[in-house]
Chain A
């Protein structure tokens, strides 16, 4: 965020509440809890996948179930067992119920090895190909195919490994990075080779010293890797803020414009497993946190496990009425229920008491405008929306909003500002589309 006399002089700090879940060791589940997994038969954008299996087949861990049609992303089975049926389940990313294969665990843990492991000496092209056949996606929450991002990368100077995890309640990156420190470093090095860059910077929050301490013993072996601490403010984990803070560079649409590639720290570990062990992403360490749960903990689960089964396995809900979301409370959207399968890029499931606050009149204090990391004027967007002033709405550039949630967080009148900006974005899209139709 650009700090000048017209923005807030002090960046926003939000209490991370990581200690709710991070102080406990990673919970391992017994087989009895991991009975079923659900594999979606549709890609995240709703496009069907090419099926490589059918109901009744016996499958092993790491076996390809299907491949996305638009970008080559294979889906793997994370259990060994039988595909017992096809069932419709709500898919949170697609936004509607889609068919899933239901695979029942036979408890034998048989693995298949369709992917050949490489070594630390792998070439750039080899690594990118490994990403492709391994179906690696952005595990920081984007879910975007990593090979696609890296295959069009050229002229990269830095690779930034994002270990910041600024979203409150989530601690999966924090815990995973401490446990798998060597894998973090090896994976980061592999990202560097894949990008063709000179240096890697692993960024972590200044208050999360444990990450640095875990990485420190091995750092001398990796001369191209540097570990850098960044201030504990929100939203430091946002790509744009991180690139600006660490490298003092700005860009318009993609970090590549600033000669930077950004990847998540858990993705680095996944890349290591893929390249060195030939193992695709078949499990995830998920943070379950929030007062609405009986136990707050990081738990290792197979990809595709139903969220209701996960919650049941860790002790269930603590309240009758909850608001739950995938991710953290700032940028996530509440789910209607917990009947959905966990995707590889889901980092956490946070359950809180439903928020209730009465909206007061806006007192035009400007806190939303001072604190917006994208330098927008949220209250002006809301006012333009309410008064149906489309020309002004377009001038206010609502599309730059990343829905980080700060504007609502700081509002003293408890107004749903972020929601208003979301609606402003929708309106902007409509207006721009109308304009294109007129022109064409």
Chain B
């Protein structure tokens, strides 16, 4: 007898639509990004970078698995059958491996392992499981985990491992790319990529630079995003509305401020985690509204937040916060989307476009009236890009009863002649009690230092700091500052020499020029080169020499002392033709002074 099994209809299921398939495709896409990034780091920075990247991914996966098992064990009750099958099913059902992969991709390569562990635990246990596990979380676990890690361990999230001098292709201060851009251009309104480890917009898009593991290659992200949309692994609406609102906002911002709007718009969206967050975190279906209209709306809301944070606040990057706000807005959007999907079309279109216009407007208007002074007295008013930056530290106790010393970190920017051109205090300048004092008196002290060169800086005795560089009652602060700045040049040795020659046949006195050479003792390369004295007698020769100076410095800087000493005759500078300048004598003299300085 045939048995008839009844169940409510329908009795067909789409074989292609499966949650685990969508999650799997999504993770494969993310792993594609990961391999690109790991490969890049491995090839450009060496095997230890590649190993670190893989290590971070493995750590994330293992930690989230352990967290899953832990929660499954907590939830297990006798009625659920045997423990192991229950645990396996629970781990499978919650797809925590996606969070692990995503979390790893939001971190830069220099993140310490303990930060990776804590971040993953936070994302899995707190952001996901306290709300009920997969399908119930309000916030995207990876996005919120990233916020937590950024707030708690901000300084550890470096784009390099070890010391920054090891990786010359990075930003001069080793910051992530958005911090670098934001510190150069506080309102995110800038027209060049100076100070960043990329040479052009195309490099930004292609992604061959060091940064956060998942964010660098815009091209790859877009490709993967299109594939995932075609595979129906995610919805395209949040991403498209997010990117277009950002692009339009940046376009109009650039237009209003006289920048090339198209270049600026593309640069704006290619810097940082816009593409990554918009493609992989904003599209998380669990934290989005259920209707397509809602999904379009959160794209615009997230873009609104990102625009405001980038251009109006001190934070360099706002994408994860934009995603968090969009996540918050989802339930409200759902609640107010009633009726049918073909009703209220006019109102819905109007609301979406209105919100877009509002985002763009609110971004642009304040920037048109804002002054461009930054609030912290850490650098001069004029935006200066140093030739090189040296980081110095000094650690000491502010008070006797402190149990841990405070570490003062300062970046000293110099030009080719090793004049101080920029001083950035990274951390630890003063206690909270003395902060107002520093804020009011600090800038003038820094300005005084900025009128010196490194030789003069190193010559200051920290017991006898001149009055212009001290704050009465706050001598510990200023002494620490000096020591930290001096420490930055611990590896620099100074060589001095001179040369003299007659400028012309009829001249009766010789012109003397002095060379001060700064050499990095670790590899004996020239890092700074300054000439003083009579570089040339008069115009036009003097201006010729001055104009060529930078090219000539570039020629010598980076060479070892041995190589320079082997240049017995005047070298041929690639960017400057000495014989046509008419000032050959001057150049010979400069070269000779250099040789004499090193000859000791």
Contacts and interface: CB of A to CB of B under 8 A. Distances in A.
Interface stretch (A26-34, A101-109, A141-149, A324-332): A324-332
B286 A363 contact: yes
A372 B10 CA distance: 14
B288 to A, nearest CB: 7
Contacts of A357: 13
Contacts of A336: 4, 6
A396 B337 CA distance: 9
Contacts of B315: none
Given A334-B4, A334-B9, A375-B342, A361 B135 contact: yes
B8 A418 contact: yes
Given A364-B286, A392-B338, A369 B4 contact: no
Interface residues of B, number: 45
A333 interface: yes
Interface string B257-285: 00000000000000000000000000001
A117 interface: no
A14 B296 CA distance: 28
B5 A5 contact: no
A320 B133 CA distance: 39
Interface string A360-388: 11111111011010111101100000000
Contact of A329 (B12, B136, B293, B296): B12
Interface stretch (B15-23, B197-205, B389-397, B435-443): B15-23
Interface in A403-421: 403, 405, 408-414, 416, 418-419
A329 B111 CA distance: 54
B345 interface: yes
Nearest to B5: A354
Contact of A2 (B5, B339, B342): B342
Interface string A1-33: 010111110000010000000000000000000
Contact of A409 (B8, B10, B93): B10
A336 B6 CA distance: 6
A361 B136 contact: yes
A372 B9 CA distance: 16
A239 interface: no
A192 B136 CA distance: 56
Given A323-B6, A376-B340, A376-B341, A168 B134 contact: no
B12 A377 contact: no
B340 A322 contact: no
A9 B347 CA distance: 20
Interface string A50-87: 00000000000000000000000000000000000000
Contacts of A422: 8
Given A6-B296, A336-B4, A412-B22, A352 B9 contact: no
Contact of B290 (A331, A338, A366): A366
B5 A334 contact: yes
A379 B334 CA distance: 11
Interface residues of A, number: 65
Interface in B320-342: 334, 337-342
A405 B12 contact: yes
B58 to A, nearest CB: 27
A376 to B, nearest CB: 6
Interface string B1-40: 0111111111111100111011000000000000000000
A140 B9 CA distance: 19
A12 to B, nearest CB: 8
A396 B338 contact: yes
Nearest to A396: B338
A355 interface: yes
A125 interface: no
A336 B343 CA distance: 40
Given A2-B342, A320-B2, A413-B19, A408 B13 contact: yes
A438 interface: no
B292 interface: yes
A55 B285 CA distance: 64
A213 interface: no
Contacts of B6: 323, 334-336
Contact of B292 (A6, A413, A418): A6
A253 interface: no
A110 interface: no
B133 A361 contact: yes
A261 to B, nearest CB: 24
9 contacts: A320-B3, A323-B5, A330-B11, A357-B13, A366-B290, A366-B292, A369-B290, A369-B292, A375-B341
Interface pairs A-B: 9 shortest CB-CB: A405-B10, A361-B135, A2-B342, A329-B11, A419-B8, A354-B5, A375-B340, A334-B6, A395-B338
Given A360-B93, A412-B18, A412-B21, 5 more contacts: A325-B11, A360-B19, A364-B289, A366-B235, A410-B14
